[in-house]
Structure 1
């Protein structure tokens, strides 16, 4: 949890300037930041003017919340293997309601979130899939500017124009709201690693599809 809160301490102090301000300041700020203040109580996305990204049946008796970071290799692996099977067998069939919440380890994960959210709710999961599939390439692009350009390419693949992408990357208000919302959620649910899953209020660490499926079947039978 210390790593999660440390990055919140860096990001929550941002007063404005968007992407370019973060690009220039995040490294030196991280070395000077004080320990994070006590997190705000968990609030809904709407409290921060944000959208809770979710798919599946909102009336399902089982809710699965995934906490993951776009820069986490274990999360990319889960989205290549575990999540597609869950989608096919439990989400698309209406058995569960699946919620995805971003975790922020670094500024690159934040930029990826801004790009994923740039297309709105309808395009979010498609863009997120592209970000995870290309993670090994874009996170190693080199400079901050090169990484940002690679993320913009993903946004353009999703049909978002350059002007929209620049606006999203420079939306400092959304950045602050995402961090504040994340901080409350991570504290309330005790998130210490990624990916983590909260199933009907109980936290679980990453697991195989076989174990996940057995757990979901148990919950659905209750």
Structure 2
């Protein structure tokens, strides 16, 4: 299973959830956030997501491919993933740490693989085994994977990102923002995305 150190760290991260306030976050990428698409795109689409969130997996697996092809790959939208932690928080933290260890060019491939294998991970209970397999497919050795999810500096950086997102007023995932305006929480359809992007482009 995931290390106790990561479990304790993840618990500490989400301890601040009750402190969530309201700010003007979500307008675009901040330091440390991962993005897809042109920085010059007129529309900034932000998703607060957790790799342990089933609704986030549904969006990734069923809606995101069409959204990416229609808007991100064509330069119309810049997509930002803002990392959040939902129960089990240590699993979400380990997933994001693994994605970052794989490198910027493989980050979204690893996140996608975690979402695609989320059911297996939770149904079998073999979280470590699934994450290790994904890490190895991204070029990491088992030793590198173990070091990755126990990297205190990386855990601290994740903690800072999560705290920043809590300050944005985010309390659940997935939360979707377009040009700084919240457009959906929980689930979003392509029709809703089309409408939000059209409105933001006016």
* TM-score, structure 2 normalization: 0.84
2:180 equivalent to 1:201: yes
Q: Residues 122 and 34 from structure 1, CA distance in 2 versus in 1: closer, same or farther, beyond 3 angstroms?
A: closer
2:79 equivalent to 1:98: yes
> 1:26: Cα distance to partner?
7.1
Query: Is the contact made by 1:90 and 1:96 (CA closer than 8 Å) also made in structure 2?
Result: yes
Higher helix residue share = 1
Structure 1, gaps ≥5 residues long: 1-17
Q: Residues 97 and 36 from structure 1, CA distance in 2 versus in 1: closer, same or farther, beyond 3 angstroms?
A: closer
What is the number of residues matched between the two proteins?
191
> 1:19: Cα distance to partner?
3.5
Q: Residues 152 and 192 from structure 1, CA distance in 2 versus in 1: closer, same or farther, beyond 3 angstroms?
A: same
Q: Identify the range of structure 1 (56-65 vs 207-216) with the bigger mean alpha-carbon deviation.
A: 207-216
- C-alpha RMSD over aligned residues: 2.7
Q: Which residue of 2 aligns with 1:172?
A: 152
Aligned residue among 163, 168, 179 for 1:183: 163
Q: Which residue of 2 aligns with 1:19?
A: 3
> 1:113: Cα distance to partner?
0.7
Q: Which has the larger radius of gyration?
A: 1
Off by >3 Å, runs of 4+ in structure 1: 33-42
Matched residues in 2 for 1:180 and 1:115: separation?
Answer: 17
Structure 2, gaps ≥5 residues long: none
Aligned residue among 118, 127, 130 for 1:135: 118
Equivalences for 1:1-222 in 2 at 5 Å?
A: 19-23=3-7, 25=8, 38=19, 46=31, 51-105=32-86, 106-142=89-125, 146-188=126-168, 190-205=169-184, 206-220=187-201, 222=202
Partner secondary structure for residue 183 of structure 2: strand
